[in-house]
Amino acid sequence: MASVTIALSMSLVARIVGLVRNPPEQLFASNDINAYTLVVAFLFTFLLTTGFIMMVCQRLYYDLKVAANTDVLTHLLNRRAMMHQLEIAMNQFYRSDRTFAIILIDVDFFKRVNDVYGHDGGDMVLIHLAQILQTKMRKADSASRWGGEEFLILLPDTTLDQAHELAERLRSYVETNPTPSNIQITISLGIAVIRQHGNSVESLITAADHALYAAKKNGRNLVAIAN
């Protein structure tokens, strides 16, 4: 659409310039037809230009909004955007008793990955895990880079059993699928479900964090459920 607008505007301007440089005898004649033609040409150019500027501004606003909510490295939601999604889920829970679960994920021995493969290797691990999350989650689920090597998944309309099944599937897939550069990793996961493990965003995150800590304490590469 933008390219069409530019082409039409340039074509119209070129015609006007051509007429001014090589005008027919009647172009500057003082009559209503010429006045009407010039007014229409001006309005047409003005509307096309205004429309183009509006499209550019709208696209710029969209790009800025996406950038503000997206983690630069993994292209998942960032922490701020996920907090907003969690608040929405919490409001839906209180209004219509719509349940949800969260899974907090941590890459095991991530510091060792950075030490052995460098920060580029660490970045590749995070990107690899983000891609797995995006392909293995349901369409209604949301994934975010929570911070460092931690990720958080929001699972709407999900029971504890369903969340546990997804977590185990993710854990197993990550364990058996190294990065394209053959870096082998494992993950630990902590699960918490609204009402069962907390009645606020903060309490639910804390419960999932405690479960994640238990998974790592008990040997890593495990799924743990909040108490």
At residue 8, the pLDDT reads 52
At residue 11, the pLDDT reads 58
- What CA–CA distance (Å, rounded) separates 134 from 137? 6
At residue 31, the pLDDT reads 56
* CATH architecture observed for domain 79-225: 2-Layer Sandwich (3.30)
- Tokens 């172009």 sit on residue: 27
Q: Is 149 a catalytic residue?
A: yes
Tens of pLDDT, residues 37-69: 666 776 777 777 777 777 766 766 555 555 578
At residue 45, the pLDDT reads 74
Share of the chain above pLDDT 70, in %: 77
Q: What is the DSSP string of 13-36?
A: HHHHHHHHHS--TTTT--SHHHHH
At residue 80, the pLDDT reads 97
Lookup: tokens for 1: 């659409």
**Residue 45's CB: how many other CB atoms inside 10 A?**
15
At residue 158, the pLDDT reads 97
At residue 14, the pLDDT reads 56
* Inter-residue contact 212 to 189 (CB < 8 Å): yes
Ordered alpha helix ranges (H), 137-195: 160-176
At residue 67, the pLDDT reads 56
Catalytic residue among 25, 87, 149, 150: 149
* Inter-residue contact 125 to 187 (CB < 8 Å): no
Residue numbers in the chain where pLDDT is lower than 70? 1-39, 42, 56-57, 59-67
